[in-house]
Amino acid sequence: MNGAPLVSTAQRTSSADGTVLSALRSPTRLRIEVLAGLVTALALIPEALSFSILAGVDPQVGLFASFTMAVTIAITGGRRAMISGAAGSTALVVAPVVQEHGLQYLIATVLLAGVFQIAMSVAGVTKLMRFIPRSVMVGFVNALAILIFSAQLPHLLGVPWLVYPMVAAGLLIIVFLPKLTTVVPAPLVAIVVLTAVALVFGLDLPTVGDEGALPSSLPTLMFPDVPFTLDTFAIIAPYALAMALVGLLESLMTASLVDDITDSPSNKTRESWGQGVANIVTGFFGGIGGCAMIGQTMINVKIAGARTRISTFLAGVFLLVLVVALSDLVARIPMAALAAVMIMVSVATLDWHSVAPKTLRRMPIAETLVMVLTVVVTVVTADLAIGVIVGVLTAMVAFAHRVAHFTEVTPVPDADIRTYKVRGELFFASSNDLVTQFDYVGDPDHIVIDMSDTHIWDASTVAALDAITHKYRAKGKQVEIIGLNAASRERHERLSGHVAL
């Protein structure tokens, strides 16, 4: 063995198929990437419009943000084929800035958030992804599916009855067309066909144009007109930090999801600073910033089959062309067509295996609880970041509780010496009860605590051992601690006598 990492043939093939050069050499792959970019661009439009309204800014601010985010992240990002744009989570974070201080402070916030994201990537924040357990990831995916579906309800409730057969027709096209041909993405066909039907028959249906006015000019370079003072920094910094954290969390979680779907790795550190660069570019063009667009990424990767940066780049380019040059036509696309696409995305996104009765019966209760709690909190708050944080904290508590019960103290009686055999992992959850498991009054004058089958992980354990020793010495008895491994001995010697009893 030469020490090189073991990479399977499938992984090498997947990696090669994901390069821009390989796509340019393959007419089939290039066609898939181009059409995926087009259908994703169409799906970006209503989302960007609604998130602009949510943030309290002009619709073109959200549309231009999706354009600059997609184009920039296609170059700087660490996950091929992932789509970034004006996202609802970041729009929620920055909305108070617009309401209280105006658009110029929003732009300054976006720029500062980008700087924070770059700094976080340099600090190695991506390493925190290892602390997100599978149950939280599954909850994240299932909550995402529910949020995508629930976002379509305004387009399905209180609307003309013709919307329902149009949505049904769109679903039928998306489900059954791939069984006949995959030359053109089924979602794109559904959008084109339903739009044509609505135009030919003059159907009175809610359209993209009803969501907000589309821009009539290209975005221009700008700089925020705010005072460069500590007061300004104090105003925007909290929002910028929150936006940076939420954006990175959603982007890294989405990258992990795409890794799993495509069986190919991503560079999480590059994705982190790439998101920062994208937000800085977006800020200089007057956009509201953003992060990974999970629904649109699923359309691009899972529904349309994209695998390269070409689709991401073209999604941004097509978006700009559609909303500026073809705005009159795009404005007439029925929302029923886009709702049908997003409903299928939600169905494809849900991890059906995780909610199957057979799986739930086999899964430990704690794992299921973490998954369900992640889903519930995410859906209730409509914030994926909050759901993931609550899920991770719950998983950590459940793990600590489970491991704490593996610790036991067994006395080995002797006439002159009492030996206690300690087994398990000692940390704050398990060592807090350690003090109560010794017979301070009845034990002989010499006590041995054998730590051969355990490990000291934190200062709480050292404090507990100090407390045990102190109690015995108060009664004139001698305590000897033996069997510590090297790491435990080093921690014990360094902290013993220096932590509170």
> Which strand (E) or helix (H) includes residue 89?
helix 88-101
CB 276 within 8 A of CB 125: no
The rounded distance, in Å, linking the Cα atoms of 465 and 493 is 12
Output phi, psi for 307, to 5 deg.
-140, 0
Nearest residue to 388 (alpha-carbon basis) of 119, 91, 138:
138
Nearest residue to 55 (alpha-carbon basis) of 90, 15, 12:
90
Report the b/e string of 369-404 with b at 16+ CB within 10 A.
bbbbbbbbbbbeeebbbbbbbbbbebbeebeeeeeb
Query: Cβ of 445: how many Cβ atoms within 10 Å?
Result: 12
Residue 390 confidence (pLDDT): 92
Residue 174 confidence (pLDDT): 92
The rounded distance, in Å, linking the Cα atoms of 210 and 331 is 8
The rounded distance, in Å, linking the Cα atoms of 146 and 148 is 5
Tell me the three state secondary structure of residue 457: coil
Residue 116 confidence (pLDDT): 96
**Type of residue numbered 224:** P
Output phi, psi for 142, to 5 deg.
-65, -40
- 442 burial type by CB count under 10 A (0-12 exposed, 13-18 middle, 19+ buried): exposed
Parallel, antiparallel or unpaired: strands 446-456 and 417-426: parallel
Residue 315 confidence (pLDDT): 96
Report the b/e string of 5-22 with b at 16+ CB within 10 A.
eeeeeeeeeebebbeeee
Residue 17 confidence (pLDDT): 54
Task: Tell me the average confidence (pLDDT) per consecutive run of 10 residues in the chain, 501 residues long.
Answer: 36 54 92 94 86 80 94 96 88 85 94 96 85 88 87 91 96 93 88 94 92 83 93 94 89 91 92 96 93 90 93 96 90 91 87 90 91 93 83 89 80 82 88 86 91 91 92 93 93 84 51
- 432 burial type by CB count under 10 A (0-12 exposed, 13-18 middle, 19+ buried): middle
CB 266 within 8 A of CB 74: no
Query: Cβ of 113: how many Cβ atoms within 10 Å?
Result: 34
Q: Which two tokens stand for residue 89?
A: 């989570």
CB 362 within 8 A of CB 192: no
